[in-house]
Amino acid sequence: MIMKDDPRILLFCPVSNHKDYILWHWIDYIKKFTYKNLEILLIDNSDNKIYAQRIQAAGIDCINVYAPQIAIREKMFACYKLFRQYFLENKFDYWLSLECDIFPPINVIEHLLALKSRVIGLPYFTFSDSKDQMLFTDFEIGFYENEKQRFQTFFKEFASFNGSVFRQVNTGLGCLLVHRSIIKKIPFRHDPDQEIFQDTVFHNDMFNAGIPAYIDTSVICRHYNSDWNKIKEIDNKKIKSITK
């Protein structure tokens, strides 16, 4: 039952056929979320329109951004730009950014709302540089003053996870709850000269705008990641192709 004062939340993430190994399990899982005032929007950047139709047949709203001849970063930017327009026009209160290989507890929304932060997320492991890396970076423990002084947290710092909420600079967009006021203030953008994705750009822009973001270390999400090295960009200035 939806209560009158429950914030309207939109769960959004970009998807593509490259996540086919896990997407259908993830769709079944998010349908079990316990928060009621929730809508789901996926934006598909596959190189054909069939995949979005399959997602729609599974009962999930999905839009296809069909642009087979542009770089993956440009496709991702197009997805986030379209999401932001939809989010603001439909007057949602929060965005739950949940990537389609991340599995938080099914009461994740209630949990994050209770922490009363405009930007707060949960950590998760990823495999990077031949080691397991906890994908939340840059705890603010009081010694950095600017972005150049940030540090990364790897598995050996797992002891830092004491169940507390920490301020952080970049936890990615794997599992992050963001208030409407932040979406209004920080537009998504794409810089073709930088080889970074929207998660890094978005967090950097929040950091530079003085917007605090937090990570709750009392919960760790399951992460079923694939190898990004299998996604090839032929040329950064010309036509791109993506191989599985």
9-230 CATH pick, 3.90.550.10, 3.90.245.10, 3.40.50.800, 3.40.50.2000? 3.90.550.10
Chunked into runs of 10 residues, the chain (244 residues) has average pLDDT values of 83 91 94 96 89 95 78 78 94 95 94 95 68 44 41 45 78 90 88 67 84 89 66 33 25
What is the pLDDT at residue 148? Answer: 44
Compute CA distances 160 → 156, 163, 215, whole Å.
9, 9, 12
**Distance between CA 96 and CA 116 in Å, rounded?**
14
pLDDT for the residue numbered 244: 24
Residue 196 is predicted with a pLDDT of 62
Q: What is the pLDDT of residue 224?
A: 83
Q: What is the reported pLDDT for 10?
A: 97
At 232 the pLDDT is 41
Tokens of 100: 């389609």
Our CA dihedral for 89, 82, 109, 115, rounded to 10 degrees, sits at: -80
Instruction: Specify the 3-state DSSP secondary structure of 216.
Output: strand
